[in-house]
Amino acid sequence: MMRFDDDFKGKVVFVTGGVGGIGKEICSGFAREGAKIAVADIDEEKAVAVVEAVKELGAESIFVKVDVTSEESVLSGIDITIKTFGGLDILVNGAGTAAVNEGPPSTVPLESDWDICYNVNVKGTLFTCKAVYELFKNQQHGKIVNIASMAGKTGSPALPHYSATKAAVINYTQTLARELAPYNINVNAVCPGLVWTPLWERGARILTKLFVKVKPDITPEEVFASEVNKLIPMKRPQTAQDVANAVLFLASEAACNITAQAINVDGGGELR
């Protein structure tokens, strides 16, 4: 695990999507470094478990119920965090969805799939960034790390709606970084490759339906391994900790001159 020489001691971190595989590891990573963590998610039961796990690491933590598709909910969550901890230093936008349905596989998602992806991935990122905008400007410091995806650069025929919205996250990251750079605020994105999370597990179950004609007894785990072998030059999956390490680095003082970047954590999956 990376160490950051007290960069995060006493810093307040707001993490959306904090209960997911990647989000949970991000919360744990900051907790190990002495930060105070607001676990922001819509799933209260799972979030409370993450808060308890973070506290066991010796860090202060609260659960903030947030629906990132609602600007009012986001503003409320940020307000609660500031009132509880006395400030806010780092925003991590980890909430995301691929709107993966359990129905027949198709490269033409429903309009509702596009809407869900846009509302969570794009508007959710917009709302949280907007909520900290004036605060970070006024205090003349802040770090924002948005979780995008390798698919936002390469595109995925199976998930065009997800790819398009993650591309929007990358572009918005670059735009906001240019705007906030004069105020000593860094804005970056991390683009994970293939990480075995609940979201990917659902996707693998759907892809399994395409593979069964060739191998009737194939499992979702085997499908995932096949995709890793096909798409990742290093021939190994990425982990939630890999992504968390990149997030912590970008939020650290070691990255004070890095902004407007979309850093791949993908084993070489996105090459240009």
| Residues recognised as catalytic | 162
* 162, two tokens: 């997800």
First to last CA, the chain: 29
Residue type, 84: T
Task: Yes or no: say if 196 and 147 are a contact pair by the CB < 8 Å rule.
Answer: no
Q: Which residues of 187-199 are buried (b: 16+ CB within 10 A; e: fewer)?
A: bbbbbbbbbbbeb
Pairwise CA distance, residues 59 & 50, whole Å: 12
* 192, two tokens: 């994970």
* 41, two tokens: 């998610």
Q: How far is CA 184 from the centre of its chain?
A: 23
